[in-house]
Amino acid sequence: MKKLSIPLVIMTLALSLPSSTVRQRAIQAIVKSHSRSLEALPATLLINSTPPNLTVLVTGENLTENCTAPCTLHLPPGSYKVNVTDGESWNATTVTLGPNTTATVLLKIPTTETPAKKGTPYLPLIMGVLLAATLGGAYLYLRRPGERRGGETTTQTEKAIEVKADKAFGISHVGARENNEDNLLVLKHPDAYLLAVADGLGGHNAGEVASQMAVDTLREVFEREYRKGMSDEDVKKLLEKAHGLAHGRIKENATGEREGMGTTLVTAFVRNGKAIIANTGDSRAYLIKDGKIVERTKDHSLVQEFVDKGEITPEEARRHPMKNIITKALGIDFGVDLYEWELEPGDVLLLSSDGLHDYVDEERIVGIASQGRSAEEIVRKLIEEALPVTKDNVTVVVWK
């Protein structure tokens, strides 16, 4: 005999009620209740990755799931962010799931470009010219060895770029990677310093394009709009404007092989015993005073969120498989935090990419920074300390 479902039986009884008003209310209640039961039906999410066996983290409202791709998850209806990582690079997308539906996601980790042959140290410069032509020449600043611009001296070798401007010094080194996706800015204004570190994201050289666009946009905005004696509040607005403009430019140019490119950007404006910091992503700024870290920017990253919730310790965050997944980046998901720090004689202001602070203990960073007699000495020793252990590019900028 054919069985009737419970809702159908209840609906039949409701229709037999004598009063039309009571009957209508009963039917509405049944429909509403049945709709809720339909909405509660889980959705199925199929996750694949290229290459396979990548670590997957899926986050939604009050829900976090992880697995190894390929994998299948059964989730409540809603919007989810799907992240994959191989421990070094990462990729992410957002998917919305309806009741009783199935969705498939394929995420790829970009492969690294083949390194240039030895004996062609100017190949990156040639590629930069081609990229400048592609981008209309508006956003790429090409440095030459020994070049002076804006009061700073720039020296470039096959593996590193060094920039010096009086009290500030920086090095960006290729480190353990085949190409350098980091970038830096060390710029002296008549009454201030403008410093920055950017760490690019994306394959096919896209990361280095994004990070270069970020520091070039920052330079451009301040060279055009900063005026000596400008108020601190106006400087903050200028920093936010530069980060926002860089975000828009990178996003606009993220097409073809550069689709999905982005970059971190931590910026420091130093003037009259004060540092104004703007941060997007997980590059960092530290203020080191009397042998201690007294101020530090907060990372825009998943592991930082785990630390904030008390789920892991800061030390565990350094070794977490999701440590490279960031929640804010120029060109991808915009956000900027502002800080204002007081500076005293002897203080060290340090900016770094995660190629330093993810691999060298903060105690060691503080020790080197506290013992260094100059910004250049501190940077060189920190780079020397990082190179044997890092698995990434390394960029350090110091003002002292």
DSSP for residue 326: B
Here the tokens at position 10 are: 């209840």
Q: With bands split at pLDDT 50, 70 and 90, how would you rate the model's confidence at 18? A: low
Helix axes 206-225, 232-252, angle to 10 degrees: 140
Structure tokens at 208: 């280095």
CA gap 339, 222 in Å, rounded: 18
Q: What is the pLDDT of residues 185-241, one digit of tens each?
A: 999 999 999 999 999 997 656 899 999 999 999 999 999 999 999 999 999 999 999
Contact between residue 56 and residue 41 where contact means Cβ atoms under 8 Å apart: no
252 touches 213 (CB < 8 A) = no
- Check residue 188 and give its pLDDT: 94
Strands 102-108 and 43-50: parallel
Residue 81 has pLDDT above 90, yes or no: no
> What is the structure's pLDDT at 25?
58
Q: Is the pLDDT of residue 116 over 70?
A: no
- The yes-or-no verdict on residue 69 having pLDDT over 50 is yes
| Res 237: pLDDT | 97
Quick one: what percent of the chain has pLDDT higher than 70? 78
Amino acid 269: pLDDT: 98
Token couple for 256: 């073809």
Contact between 10 and 30 (Cβ < 8 Å):
yes
Inter-residue contact 183 to 214 (CB < 8 Å): yes
Residue 58, pLDDT score: 87
Question: Does the pLDDT value for residue 89 go beyond 80?
Answer: no
Q: Name the packing angle between helices 375-386 and 362-371 (round to 10°).
A: 150
pLDDT at res. 102: 83
Q: How many of the other CB atoms lie within 10 Å of CB of 179? A: 17
Residue 48 has pLDDT above 50, yes or no: yes
Confidence of residue 291 (pLDDT cuts 50, 70, 90): very high
pLDDT reported for residue 352: 98
Binned at pLDDT 50, 70 and 90, residue 117 comes out as very low
**Average pLDDT in the chain:** 82
pLDDT at 42: 86
Q: Which of 137-141, 257-261, 387-391 shows the highest mean pLDDT?
A: 387-391
pLDDT-wise least confident of 249-258, 294-303, 330-339: 249-258
Q: How many whole angstroms separate alpha carbon 16 and alpha carbon 80?
A: 44
**Predicted pLDDT at 211:** 96
Question: Side-chain half-sphere of 330: how many Cα atoms within 13 Å?
Answer: 39
Asked whether residue 111 carries a pLDDT value surpassing 60, the answer given is no
Residue labelled with tokens 């204004």: 189
Output the pLDDT for position 125. 34
Q: Determine what percent of the chain is predicted with pLDDT higher than 90.
A: 54
pTM (2 d.p.): 0.69
pLDDT of residue 100: 81
The pLDDT, as a whole number, for residue 49 is 82
Residue partners of 213: CB distance under 8 A and separation at least 6 = 135, 139, 140, 246, 249, 250, 253, 263
